[in-house]
Amino acid sequence: MSAPVRIERDGEVAVVTVDNPPVNALSHAVRAALLAAIEELDADAAVRAIVLIGAGRNFIAGADVREFDAPPREPMLPGVLARLEACGKPVVAALAGPTLGGGAEAALACHFRCAAADLQLGFPEVNLGLLPGAGGTVRLPRLAGWQPALEMMTSGKPVGRDAAIGHGIVDRPADGELRATAVEWARDLASRGVAPRRVRELPLPPSRPALFEEFLLSLPEAARRLPAPPRIVEALAAAAMLPFDAAQARARTLFFECLNSQESRALRHLFFAERGAQPDRALARPVAQAGVLGSGTMGAGIAIALATGGIGVTLVDAKAEALAAGLGRVHSAIEGAARKGRISAQAASAARERVQGAAALEAVAACDLVIEAVYENMAVKQEVFAKLGALCRPDSVLATNTSTLDVDAIAAASGRAADVVGMHFFSPANVMRLVEIVRGRESSRPALATAHAVARRIGKVAVTVGNCFGFVGNRMLYAYGREKEFMLLEGATPERIDRALVEFGMAMGPNAVGDLAGLDVGWQVRREWAGKPDDPRFYRISDRLAELGRYGQKTGRGFYRYGAPGGQREPDPEVEMLIRDEAARLGVAQREIGDEEIVGRCIFALVNEGAAILEEGIAASPADIDVIWCNGYGFPRHRGGPMFHADAVGLPKVLAAIRRFAADHGERWWTPAALLVTLAERESGFGAWQAARAEAAGRAT
């Protein structure tokens, strides 16, 4: 293995390169080697200036998150950066690409900073429930001021080179070759005898005592309830009031408070879960051109995601008017992304040019990947795949975007089931990060690897799941929604249910989500569902509203009423009357239902269904379920996903609650999954179960 830090001399300038693939994370080995390099060069009389640079495409992308759950090992990053800053010779940081977290703090500890055009500098620690604990909170405001420091650290969003220069973080651009520019600058600094400019010695900008409290109150209430954002503000306030070393010590204390919080553990769990095992990339087939069948909301969204991800798209719709509307949605969304600065004007132009429309299915014959996004009807999809099987190249991958239908039945119609997978995008497909890659009974490894590779290329989180009704996400959604529908009949109002679950942390309540997605969508699925439960209460209120043409926001009325389609929602007395009438017709007695019961029944229904899915092998791991629910269904990330949350609550408590619900509401819907019972009786958890399985698999290998 190569050294994680190497030294090269270019005359009187020493170049220190951090080389720890893939992103130059500040692992223990890197910290130790960097400290040794600085001490060696500071003592070398032949060296008059130093350049710190990262190997590959970026400077340093942050700390090694894998070490956060291990005992601390010296040298710790704050000490390494303090020694770097104390160096008696000018140190120039040559910044490029992702320069994040501990990497950004390392840049601030250098004396001067130049940057390539692709710099993305930021402090994303808040996304792991943490704060910058290696000097960022005391150094950044001395360069950028209080407001940029507060905003960058509480949002976690990086800034580009121009913004970093504007904030005073970066001193100059490097428009030529980065290393050569940095070395030339360092040599000039040495020749002119320029002393190190230590950020810790710079004056603090003026501040008001109320500034920090006002900023904290401006944050969303949900953010204020989490450990990290208030502590970030507190650390910056300490930087304003205390000497440098005392303020940094306070920030370090706050960092460890965050590190030990349940919320940070949950966020770190998701960090690793989202980067879990992937299919062998070597098996993936190259995809330069994709076909998308259906130009409605979903098809257009998939086309946008593919085109902005660098893949050519043929968007097919037999109806000329629908195709024109779909292409219009594609172009509008791409232009909107450019206006908002999410992509450059050049990238937007290239993305638009990648999308072509076609009326005939034959237009996708030469495509490497074809994604079907037509009407959610088995007969329609089978007809489409029968044609695709004969029409498309033998090495092309055929994917269905079905959200609930049997992928094996669709694949069989193609006559080439090995080439067929599910690619279940979530709406809007150009925004939502999740794609469930559905493994059919005969789906080949290359087909699955290709679907995964495409999803990752276009910036999605891809999770492989098995084939059953609803796969993982929607199957669990029906358990969650089942309980909220039953509680509507039992007396909880739509707004009471939504408020309780939003307070728990869900991005939206289930009734508001139904109105947003369109109640007609689920209604159509349930009409197609051959195995739909025969309980007359099952989704009765949602179905009744859809029967009345109350589809939600798009019609101005659903569970709520809206001043205009898509406008502000408000409770609707007509819905409350409809619910009372349906409850009376079905013989359901109404009562007061508290928030604790609402949350318990909905969330533990998710957990129980998730345990059954694990038993059946539909999901490979509890972590996969957590990724699906946090990225596709708005489950609160700070709770880590339903299965991680269940472990945090304790499976014995979860099982006791489920048995209580079974006694109160019937065993048909509340029979505990066998895996949940086994783990609860062992006083174990889903995480420990998965770790044991992984260890056993490793021994077998």
User: Residue 456: which CATH number?
Assistant: 3.40.50.720
Range of the domain at 374: 281-465
pLDDT for res 701: 66
Query: pLDDT per residue over 465-479, tens digit each?
Result: 999 999 999 999 999
Global pTM reads 0.94
**8: alpha, beta or left? (left if phi > 0; alpha if psi -120 to 50):** beta
Q: Which distant-in-sequence residues (6+ apart) come within 8 Å of 506 by Cβ? A: 634, 635, 636
Query: pLDDT per residue over 494-508, tens digit each?
Result: 999 999 999 999 999
Residues 212-222, mean pLDDT to the nearest whole number:
94
Q: Which distant-in-sequence residues (6+ apart) come within 8 Å of 102 by Cβ? A: 26, 60, 62, 63, 77, 134
Domain shared by 243 and 288, yes or no:
no
Q: Is the pLDDT of residue 289 over 60?
A: yes
Given 227, 260, 293, the domain boundary residue is: 260
Q: Is the pLDDT of residue 1 over 70?
A: no
Type of residue found at 336 = G
Considering the domain boundaries, does residue 266 fall inside one?
no
Local structure of 586: helix, strand or coil: helix
Considering the domain boundaries, does residue 698 fall inside one?
no
Domain shared by 322 and 244, yes or no:
no
Domain shared by 420 and 490, yes or no:
no
Residues 375-400, mean pLDDT to the nearest whole number:
96
pLDDT for res 566: 59
Considering the domain boundaries, does residue 276 fall inside one?
no
Q: Is the pLDDT of residue 564 over 80?
A: no
Residues 440-467, mean pLDDT to the nearest whole number:
97
Given 432, 447, 465, the domain boundary residue is: 465
Domain shared by 179 and 308, yes or no:
no
Type of residue found at 210 = A
Considering the domain boundaries, does residue 478 fall inside one?
yes
CATH code of the domain containing 565: 1.10.1040.50
Considering the domain boundaries, does residue 656 fall inside one?
yes
Considering the domain boundaries, does residue 238 fall inside one?
yes
Domain shared by 41 and 146, yes or no:
yes
Q: Catalytic site residues?
A: 105, 125
The number of folded domains in the chain is: 3
Domain shared by 378 and 503, yes or no:
no
pLDDT for res 222: 87
Q: What percent of the chain has pLDDT over 90?
A: 94
Banded pLDDT at 229 (limits 50, 70, 90): very high
Domain shared by 102 and 239, yes or no:
yes
pLDDT for res 598: 98
pLDDT for res 700: 77
Rg (CA), the chain: 28
Q: Is the pLDDT of residue 84 over 90?
A: yes
Domain shared by 297 and 255, yes or no:
no
Given 414, 443, 465, the domain boundary residue is: 465
**C-beta neighbour count of 480 within 10 angstroms:** 24
Domain shared by 51 and 104, yes or no:
yes
pLDDT for res 310: 97
Domain shared by 62 and 113, yes or no:
yes
pLDDT for res 538: 97
Considering the domain boundaries, does residue 434 fall inside one?
yes
Considering the domain boundaries, does residue 267 fall inside one?
no
Domain shared by 439 and 489, yes or no:
no
Q: Is the pLDDT of residue 567 over 80?
A: no
Domain shared by 293 and 364, yes or no:
yes
What b/e readout covers 617-645, taking b as 16+ CB neighbours within 10 angstroms? ebbbbbbbbbbbbbbbbbbbbbbbbbbbb
